[in-house]
Amino acid sequence: MQLRCKSLTFFLMAALVLVVVGLVVTGCAPKANVIKVATVTPLSGSQAAVGESIKLGAQIAVEEQKDAFTKLGFALQLDPQDDQADPKVGVDVAQKLIADKEVLGVDGHYNSGVAIPASEVYKTDNLTEVSPANTNPKVTDRKYLDVNRICARDDEQGPFGADYAFNTLKAKNIYIVDDKTTYGAGVAQQFEARAKADGATILGHDGITAGETDFSAVLDKAGSAKPDLLYFGGMFPEGSLLLKQMRDKGINATFMGADGMDDPQMAKIAGNDVIGAYYTTAAGDINSTPEGKAWADKYTKEFNQQPGAYAVYGYDSMNVLLDGIKKAIADNGGKAPSRLQVSQAVRATKDFQGISSKVTFDDKGDNLYAMLFMKEYKTADYPPAVIQSGTAGQYLQK
């Protein structure tokens, strides 16, 4: 009997050793608690540069907070995703993220036309989103608990631009062009409504298609109308060409756009024709404060390139998200929180001090401290000069 017990013990111990060795060899050893946070921006196509800069800004935040999460017992991982600035791709990415239960939050998107349909997917499982750059009012007007943004809205940005055009630039006759996207058409409509209320005459409002490169037909109509100012609602790849072709045709009207023009490529594409152009943006001058300059220097040193306008907004959005996750972990007794708990903690963000802005979310998920900036190209160098700024909320349509 004693011999039989010893044999059984030896057999069990040998089996246990084989199991442990097998787990190590095959890589199936139990893994640490993983928390993933995603960035979703265009990483390919004509808007890849700005999408990459948002991702890299968020990456800095994740690297800075990894140790804090390790102390809490979690391995923090960044999961970058490419939405290609395409609504259909954005929805596919959102479905992929929803299926991965380790993903507890999203830093993105860049395009409102992508963010809105993607957020319909996120809300099916309360996957929280903190946007660095989505400006269309519909993003937050639906009052989804899991949708937030730290930047201003188009119904603030459009009026801000219109007031400056009419009151400061004395533009009385205005021609409007937009790119027919959710973002571009939306901000153009907000600009037009405020310009009319201010007393300006709208000579025409035409649309182009994103991806176009020849704007002769629209510019011939605009030139014939002899506007004081041409306003463009859309992105920099088309807007920069529109400006360049406008000057080639001898149209001397002032050019103004919105924050889709806030990219170094604008000056590279338009060249010296960019001098004298204006645009509104939710992104300020990163170098205007000591903290911002130090952050920009860190970004430049780490990635060997200057940060794009929304890079620091990607950083701040990620930190708001990560702080919310840490609070949700604490509220859950140190255990991994649910997506709903994270959404509730993020929405409760109050007086978070970022590099770009202080952040307090209202009941819609809008940031009460969001700012707007008017920039002018006095030379062909990026970034252009900030010539006016203000709290975004004061420009809401009455």
Each residue's pLDDT tens digit, 48-95: 999 999 999 999 999 999 999 999 999 999 999 999 999 999 999 999
Query: Is 3 within a domain?
Result: no
Altogether, the residues listed in the chain come to a count of: 398
Res 15: pLDDT: 45
Q: Are residues 50 and 145 in the same domain?
A: yes
Which pLDDT band, with edges at 50, 70 and 90, does 397 fall under?
low
Nearest one of 191, 247, 208, 240 to 382, comparing CA atoms: 240
- The HSE-up count of residue 112 (CA atoms within 13 Å, CB side) is 27
Q: What is the pLDDT of residue 14?
A: 45
How large is the C-alpha radius of gyration of the chain?
25
Q: Does 186 share its domain with 261? A: yes
378 and 296: one domain?
no
Provide the CB-side half-sphere exposure for 15 (13 A, CA).
6
Domain of residue 385 covers 155-281+374-395
> Does some domain include residue 2?
no
250 within domain boundaries: yes
Listed in sequence order, the residues at least 6 apart from 391 whose beta carbon sits closer than 8 Å to its beta carbon are: 369, 370, 371, 372
Looking at the fold, whether 128 and 210 belong to one and the same domain comes out as no
Residue 10 has a pLDDT of: 42
One domain for residues 53 and 159: no
Is 202 found in the same domain as 81?
no
DSSP string, 9-42: HHHHHHHHHHHHHHHHHHT-SPPPEEEEEEEEE-
pLDDT at 3 exceeding the cut of 80: no
Please state the separation of Cα 232 from the chain's center in Å. 20
Do residues 271 and 291 share a domain? no
- List Cβ neighbours of 256 (8 Å cut-off, separation of 6 or more): 161, 165, 169, 229, 230, 231, 232, 277, 278, 279, 280
In a domain, 13, yes or no: no
Note the Cα 49 to chain centre separation in Å: 13
CATH number of the domain within which 112 lies: 3.40.50.2300
Per residue in 35-48, is it b (16+ CB within 10 Å) or e — as a string?
Answer: bbbbbbbbbeeebe
* CA nearest to 167, candidates 390, 377, 393, 384: 390
Do 237 and 217 reside in the same domain of the chain? yes
Same domain, 275 and 335: no
The total number of structural domains that make up the chain: 2
Q: What is the rounded distance in angstroms from the CA atom of residue 74 to the CA atom of residue 385?
A: 43
Position 339 pLDDT exceeds 90: yes
pLDDT at 207: 97
In a shared domain, residues 379 and 249:
yes
pTM of the model: 0.89
Residues 132 and 145 in one domain: yes
CA 88 to chain centre: 18
Looking at the structure, tell me whether residues 258 and 391 fall in a common domain. Answer: yes
The better pLDDT of the pair 101, 11 is held by 101
Q: pLDDT of 341-382, one tens digit each?
A: 999 999 999 999 999 999 999 999 999 999 999 999 999 999
pLDDT tens string 228-273: 999 999 999 999 999 999 999 999 999 999 999 999 999 999 999 9
In a 10 Å sphere around its CB, with 0-12 CB exposed, 13-18 middle and 19+ buried, how is residue 1 labelled?
A: exposed
What tokens does 66 get?
């990894």
Q: What per-residue confidence (pLDDT) applies to 366? A: 98
Cβ 182 vs Cβ 112: under 8 Å: yes
Domain presence at residue 25: no
Helices 311-331 and 290-303: crossing angle in degrees, nearest 10, is 100
